[in-house]
Structure 1
Amino acid sequence: MKWDPKKYVQFADHRDRPFFDLTARITAATPRAVVDLGCGPGPLTRSLAERWPDAHVSGLDLSADMIEKARKDQQAPNLNFEIIDATTWVPEPETDVLVSNAMLQWIPEHRELIAKWLEALAPGAWFAAQVPGNFGSPSHALMRQLAESTRWAPLLTGVLRHDDAVGEPADYLRIMLDAGFEADVWETTYGQILSGIDPVLEWVRGTALRPILAKLDQADAAEFEREYAELVAQAYPSFPDKQGGELTLFPFRRIFMVGRKR
């Protein structure tokens, strides 16, 4: 599945806020090595390098396009980016902070991976991750229903695995406690205000819609998007703003986990 760095950062303000809400809970003073696993185009990784200038900060991602963009645009003396497959990666012993922001939902076995990473981290190390918890919301439920319809099922059966993409907060809390971590797990629903034409479609184009677009040719992708846009426009009706434009309320639930190994 190919990622588009420009599309991913289209809603940077909304996508960045959970990262900073997450990392604000990390109180590591002088970490040796900091890893951002699933770093994307890298501006948030650079913020970690600026926060901890004496640490070696690594941004890791499977997407060559994302890493190329990060290496080009995000520079700091203590910062580097590498192409890494998270399913085979293990943190080095000196990793004092491991962050993963909105990446784990793409990996079916991420619960087992989290347990493996936590076991590998040294006492005193921090783990912080955030995943979207909105797979039951209309934006995703309608996408699944459309993909499973008579028209699209022959092309898209099995492409979306949203039903089990993430666990509930209690699932992650148990994993962290079992690994010997002092853990803080919580959820937040952000009342995101989007603007423009078909804003929910524009949002999912950067993330949730990627597997479908990767499976369809250009004509079919355009047809699927038209049908989907009609469905979500009813689920998320717009309302006028005072400047004569249209706004759309798009609630977005996020699940957070932060902990320090005893």
Structure 2
Amino acid sequence: MTAGADLASRAARDWNSDLYLKFEEERTRAARDLLARIPYCETRRVYDLGCGPGNSTELLTRSFPGAAVVGIDRSDNMLAVARARVPAAEFVKADVAHWEAPAAADVIFANATLHFLPDHRNLIQRFVAWLRPGGRLAVQMPDNTYEPSHAAMRMVAADGPWANRLVPVAKSLTVIGQPEEYYDLFAPLCRTIDIWKTVYIHPLHGPEDVVEWFEGSGLRPFLDLLSPEETGDFLSRYRERLAQAYPRQPDGKVLLRYPRLFFVLQK
């Protein structure tokens, strides 16, 4: 295998649903909070963008029992878990960045998905266009670019033999804007906008848990470009920085501060 083919193979590695679901309760909490703020109206078709292992899709099928619920994801592993978990829903393999709704939607739900996409502002405008009149777009995006967890990622990426590969990745990661920016952008498109920010505090067992949390999400753009040997070295250095950034509490746990930006738009 050539070096280029090997890199492409590693970059195409699938998501790990087991690792993602280790913190299912913490991850699903934001989806529940987002769902709770969706205004009621008759709902026939719901799309769950970036549905992952189906934890958010399951919530949607329960909240909209009469609707056709469709989960969208590009990971075969995640979709297999989601299909087994939520047999009442339909699941489609697609890249959210290029997905188009085949039929008008009453609800488009995007929980912890759009922050991975650099053009998410234009995508959100497209999603609004696919809503029926009165339809709702519900979005939640982690806003932790400047948290110690993510600052440590960038520092380790820049301080190692992989720097020439990983620094461009660090520079290309999406930065979430201020709430006012999104309000001003979407106000002309919508009847109502509900926008808010929540900072969750997650007690975890130690720096190792913080590493595993982000192995299933934020670290993926970095780790996908590393060999198995480099991955071990990268994670070891990352763990050392986290141990400094997240001191243990008297009970031995560490507190992961996790800001998230939410908004619900009604067309």
Q: Contact between 2:207 and 2:239, CA under 8 Å: does it hold in 1?
A: no
Q: Contact between 2:116 and 2:173, CA under 8 Å: does it hold in 1?
A: no
TM-superposed deviation, 1:92: 4.2
Identify unmatched segments of 5+ residues in structure 2.
1-11
Tell me which residue corresponds to 1:115: 125
Whether 2:61 is the aligned partner of 1:49: answer yes
Q: Contact between 2:136 and 2:265, CA under 8 Å: does it hold in 1?
A: yes
Using a 3 Å threshold, how does the CA distance of structure 1 residues 258 and 122 change in structure 2: closer, same or farther?
same
Distance 1:150 1:196 in 2: 24
- Identify the match of residue 251 of structure 1 among 225, 233, 257: 257
Q: Deviations over 1:7-28 (max 9, x none)?
A: 1111111111111111101122
Provide the identity percentage.
37
Q: Contact between 1:181 and 1:259, CA under 8 Å: does it hold in 2?
A: yes
Q: Contact between 1:61 and 1:82, CA under 8 Å: does it hold in 2?
A: yes
Q: Contact between 1:43 and 1:70, CA under 8 Å: does it hold in 2?
A: yes
Partner SS state of residue 224, structure 2: helix
1:187-226 alignment to 2 at 5 Å?
187-196=197-206, 198-226=208-236
Using a 3 Å threshold, how does the CA distance of structure 1 residues 214 and 150 change in structure 2: closer, same or farther?
closer
Distance 1:113 1:135 in 2: 20
TM-superposed deviation, 1:173: 1.5
Tell me which residue corresponds to 2:184: 174
Q: Give the letter aligned to residue 214 of structure 2.
A: V
Distance 1:164 1:197 in 2: 24
Tell me which residue corresponds to 1:160: 170
Identify unmatched segments of 5+ residues in structure 1.
none
The total of aligned residue pairs comes to 255
Partner SS state of residue 22, structure 2: helix
* TM-score, normalised by the number of residues in structure 1: 0.92
Distance 2:161 2:26 in 1: 33
Whether 2:237 is the aligned partner of 1:231: answer no
**What root-mean-square deviation, in Å, do the aligned CA atoms of Structure 1 and Structure 2 show?**
1.6
Q: Contact between 1:30 and 1:55, CA under 8 Å: does it hold in 2?
A: no
TM-superposed deviation, 1:111: 0.7
Tell me which residue corresponds to 2:3: none
Partner SS state of residue 71, structure 1: helix
